[in-house]
Amino acid sequence: MDIFRKQKFLALTLLLTLAACSTPDTTAPTVSSTTPAASATAVARNSAITVTFDEDMFATTVTASSFTLAKLGAIDGTVTFEGSANVATFTPRSALAILATYTATLGTAITDLSGNPLAAD
């Protein structure tokens, strides 16, 4: 009977310790860097746009509908995600216009591995 109590006590202690260590992640991911930088000028017309996230992301949420490039309308391109580096890349299908301003947008459909979305587009 005494051994049973010790085992029960150790099991309960382990369970409580594990529960205390597993606080849920509720922090929204952020973008830690972009290439080219925001408001960059003299960017090559065939440049890809890369975004690095500050934490591991859920790869299937980084898509052509959640990472877009636009001028007066959407620009056709492909989106890839490199999970080991947390880098998303938008590659335009054709050269970008000369002396034009483009806006890259990351949507709130993009989430980290805990399911936390970006805080805003």
Looking at residue 72, what is its pLDDT? 87
Q: What are phi and psi of 57, to 5 degrees?
A: -115, 155
Mean pLDDT of 87-111: 95
Choose among 105, 92, 78: nearest CA to 46.
92
List the domain boundaries for the chain: 29-121
pLDDT, tens digit, for every residue of 64-81?
999 999 998 899 999 999
Report the alpha-carbon distance of residue 121 to residue 89 in Å, rounded. 16
Q: What rounded mean pLDDT belongs to the chain? A: 87
The dihedral through the CA atoms of 5, 10, 11, 16 has a sign that is positive
Choose among 121, 62, 58: nearest CA to 90.
62
Looking at residue 74, what is its pLDDT? 92
pLDDT, tens digit, for every residue of 11-31?
545 444 545 556 888 999 999
Which CATH number is 29-121's, of 3.40.50.11900, 3.40.50.11810, 2.60.40.1510, 2.60.40.1220? 2.60.40.1220
The CA-based dihedral angle spanning residues 38, 49, 73, 119, taken in that order and rounded to the nearest 10 degrees: -60
Choose among 34, 53, 52, 54: nearest CA to 102.
34
